[in-house]
Amino acid sequence: MKSKRPLKLALATIMALTIVLVPLLSSGCAGSPAPSSPAAPEASSLKVGFSICYTGPAASKGRPMGDAKLDCIEYINEELGGVDGHPIEVIWRDNEYDSSKAVTIVNELMDKGCLFFTTNSSKMMGASMEIANRAEFPGFTVFSAPVCTHPPQHIYGQMPDYGDDWAAFASYYLENIWQGEGRPKMALHLLNNTTGYGALDAARALADELGIDLILPAEEHASSTMSEMESLTRIKTENPDVLYISSTPDETAIIIQNAVDLGLYPGITIGCGHASFTSVLVELAGADAEGVFGVYPTVNWGDDVPAMAKMTEHCQELHPEDYGNMDYITSWAEGLIVAEILQLAIDNVGVDNLTPQAVEEYGFKKLDNFDAGGLHGPVSYTPGDNRLSKSVRVFQVQSGEIVPVSGWVEAPLIKYEDFDWFGQ
């Protein structure tokens, strides 16, 4: 007998089910690295769109995230019987971390009748959200920046944003690391898109209140950077106490290695936002990453949470190269949230009445302390706050491993739209 809410029961008990459906995964382009062959969609399937940066400059993050979300949907369809008996039909496309492709993709996903969509990154959501907001086509991004959800419209952030990262690290630094007199001086090194600018927004909003002197203007770098010796030399002349980097793994590794070469680090504290702080960074930076701090919004591999065993089983079977990469965790949780949104909408309006608008009103906005298998903080919609999960932890690289050094910290809402400089 099939449960009314198979997803929640399975996460609680990890019991085997007898109903098995073929996963519906529609690949985006010929030659794209689809984990499995697509199957013909069924009439009762629930269409969801995934815009994934499988290739391009952000592939080191997008590929494991894409693997995870598609693996999770396959698990939901094959082992849990879909959502309320309806298979999820994924229509996914590789946006290549290219804004123009992201725009084309979001239009296609609407044309194909998707109920909502997701992206990996704030940059790709930044490119997609004007069209989506105008069409009232809801979506959420796994990694978010304040600009994606402020002011709140039809786009949501799965987890705390890059501004929340900065605020959490800054507070941890002041309470646990800083031992000098007066106010510490913080330099910022930021990827020149929403990944970096989200951290800058929070720093501008909160630094003075917290008691931190920012070294401005912040240094910026491109995703194609090969060296940041020049910018770090400028930073070194300012004699900072702490350097905060908000970027992706490849660029962050270069900045850390250059800081070591310049004798800037060790000697100062380095903190990183969650876009970069995963096993790929440690692999790229090697021993130079030792002691570096970072913020991340999920549990670690091997933690004792309900979803860990099933996620680990699928990762090791289908994509063993992703095991140990916390980006995979973010998007396995994404798949669980996708299913919960659909389940809530069906519970409230019935499967025959599903539209993007109904899914937003009766799916997204009905999220209430959903436990994504314990993989990150509880998922809830709060009016005026389009972040769905609001908790982060601080980690540190110790002996080549990413180790938590703080408990869960809830990131308070920052009303960016109240600042006249926001979005300028």
Residue 26's pLDDT is 54
Pairing of strands 409-410, 293-296: unpaired
Residue 189's pLDDT is 98
Mean pLDDT in residue range 178-187: 95
62-90 pLDDT per residue, tens: 999 999 999 999 999 999 999 999 999 99
Residue 419's pLDDT is 95
**Model confidence band, residue 365 (pLDDT cutoffs 50, 70, 90):** very high
| Position 228 pLDDT exceeds 80 | yes
Instruction: Note whether 345 and 362 are within 8 A (CB).
Output: yes
- 5 Cβ partners below 8 Å, 6+ apart? 84, 343
Half-sphere exposure of 229 (CA within 13 A, CB side): 5
Residue 423's pLDDT is 80
Domains and CATH numbers, the chain: 6-160+301-389 (3.40.50.2300), 162-296+393-418 (3.40.50.2300)
Share of the chain above pLDDT 90, in %: 87
What is the rounded distance in angstroms from the CA atom of residue 100 to the CA atom of residue 111? Answer: 17
| Position 40 pLDDT exceeds 80 | no
| Position 424 pLDDT exceeds 80 | no
What is the rounded distance in angstroms from the CA atom of residue 165 to the CA atom of residue 367? Answer: 23
The tokens for 350 are 């019935």
279 — alpha (psi -120 to 50), left (phi > 0) or beta? alpha
Mean pLDDT in residue range 50-60: 94
**What does pTM read for this prediction?**
0.85
| Position 356 pLDDT exceeds 90 | yes
Nearest residue to 309 (alpha-carbon basis) of 147, 42, 75? 75
**Model confidence band, residue 245 (pLDDT cutoffs 50, 70, 90):** very high
Long-range contacts of 350-358 (CB under 8 A, 24+ apart): 351/44, 351/46, 351/84, 351/86, 354/46, 354/115, 355/115, 356/110, 356/114, 356/115, 356/116, 356/135, 356/136, 356/137, 356/138, 357/136, 357/138
Amino acid 320 reads P
304-325 pLDDT per residue, tens: 999 999 999 999 999 999 999 9
Half-sphere exposure of 302 (CA within 13 A, CB side): 7
Helices (H), ranges, 58-153: 59-80, 99-111, 122-135, 146-149
The tokens for 86 are 């309806």
Under DSSP, is residue 170 helix (H, G, I), strand (E, B) or coil? helix
| Position 102 pLDDT exceeds 70 | yes
Straight-line distance from the first to the last Cα atom of the chain, in angstroms, rounded to the nearest whole number: 56
| Position 17 pLDDT exceeds 70 | no
| Position 163 pLDDT exceeds 80 | yes
